[in-house]
Amino acid sequence: MGSYEQLGVESIHKIEKKGIDEKSLSDLINWLALLFTRSNSMKRNLNESFKSLELIKAERNYRQKLKELQTPPFDEYSPTKMIELTKEFNEYKSQLNTPNSELIPILIKSADKAISLLRARNWMLVEADSSQFITSNNPFGIFPTFFSKTHFKYLGLGTYPTIVTFPLTPKFALLGSFSPLPTFNKVDPLIVDGINYSTFCNADTIYSRDEIIPFFFTNGIYLQEFHRLLSTRLISNS
């Protein structure tokens, strides 16, 4: 993974200086896929999926044993056995987590899938004209290219139509879409705010070169305007 990270950092410097080229983009996508699959949100989702499956099996086993204890003939220890069985089941639920031996192979497969989905997108380098991009501990952003009340919920790398955003530096960011895109575009503060909001939605911690004014899209009209500008300025101009 260290080699991927080194190539990823080097590709950011190349793209920042010379724009997108096939080799730099390929190296960067490999690194982005690793970042995506190693993110806290991805690990949480995988852990919750694993726990759900394990709990289904454990609960089925618990109910079967409980049914056996509740079936005559009873003995004097049956009530105690039922209490102990229930206690063991509740303790198992509270302590259940995905072991690394289960998690790592899933993450590797997820990274391979992420690489194929990211490579299927068209990519554009965007430059902030007068403002700056923020980043985070999970800098991927995914949003629909149309306004929706669901906003950023239930979106993945393979969801269509969506744009993936990834801030490279305070001045540059990458946008990936299944629709055609120009390879470069300068963007105004409203588009930068929209990309920053996309970054913010997946973040636990925000990082910024300078102090920034809160840009959060609490106003639905403002968010709708961002989606309109995104379509007219970036996508339709491709």
Does any domain span residue 115? no
Does any domain span residue 22? no
Query: Residues 195, 145, 119, CA angle at the centre, nearest 5°?
Result: 80
Task: Give pLDDT, residue 119.
Answer: 93
The answer to whether residues 61 and 147 belong to one domain is no
Task: Give pLDDT, residue 2.
Answer: 59
Measure the CA–CA gap between 203 and 137, rounded to whole angstroms: 6
The answer to whether residues 194 and 238 belong to one domain is yes
The answer to whether residues 89 and 175 belong to one domain is no
- Please state the domain count of the chain: 2
Query: Residues 16, 124, 213, CA angle at the centre, nearest 5°?
Result: 75
Task: Give pLDDT, residue 146.
Answer: 62
The answer to whether residues 131 and 210 belong to one domain is yes
Does any domain span residue 54? yes
Does any domain span residue 207? yes
Q: How far is CA 213 from CA 76, 131, 133, in A?
A: 69, 11, 12
Angle between helices 22-37 and 100-119 (to 10 degrees): 150
Beta bridge partner(s), residue 234 = none
Q: Which of 230, 163, 173, 200 is nearest to 28 (CA)?
A: 173
Does any domain span residue 195? yes
Whether residue 232 has pLDDT greater than 70? no
Does any domain span residue 172? yes
Note down the domain range covering 223.
121-238
Task: Give pLDDT, residue 224.
Answer: 58
The answer to whether residues 128 and 236 belong to one domain is yes
Task: Give pLDDT, residue 237.
Answer: 45
Task: Give pLDDT, residue 95.
Answer: 82
**Per-residue pLDDT reduced to its tens digit, 57-73:** 999 999 999 888 888 88
**Per-residue pLDDT reduced to its tens digit, 108-162:** 788 888 899 999 999 999 999 888 999 988 888 887 766 555 544 557 787 777 8
Task: Give pLDDT, residue 172.
Answer: 94
The answer to whether residues 73 and 179 belong to one domain is no
Task: Give pLDDT, residue 75.
Answer: 78
Does any domain span residue 68? yes
The answer to whether residues 148 and 60 belong to one domain is no
Whether residue 100 has pLDDT greater than 60? yes
The answer to whether residues 51 and 156 belong to one domain is no
**Per-residue pLDDT reduced to its tens digit, 162-176:** 888 999 999 999 999
Task: Give pLDDT, residue 238.
Answer: 41
Whether residue 17 has pLDDT greater than 90? no
Whether residue 20 has pLDDT greater than 70? yes
Percent of the chain with pLDDT over 70: 80
Whether residue 235 has pLDDT greater than 50? yes
Measure the CA–CA gap between 158 and 110, rounded to whole angstroms: 12
Task: Give pLDDT, residue 221.
Answer: 46
Q: What is the mean pLDDT of residues 24-40?
A: 84
Query: How does residue 212 score in pLDDT terms, banded at 50, 70 and 90?
Result: low
The answer to whether residues 147 and 181 belong to one domain is yes
Please say whether the beta carbons of 100 and 147 come within 8 A. no
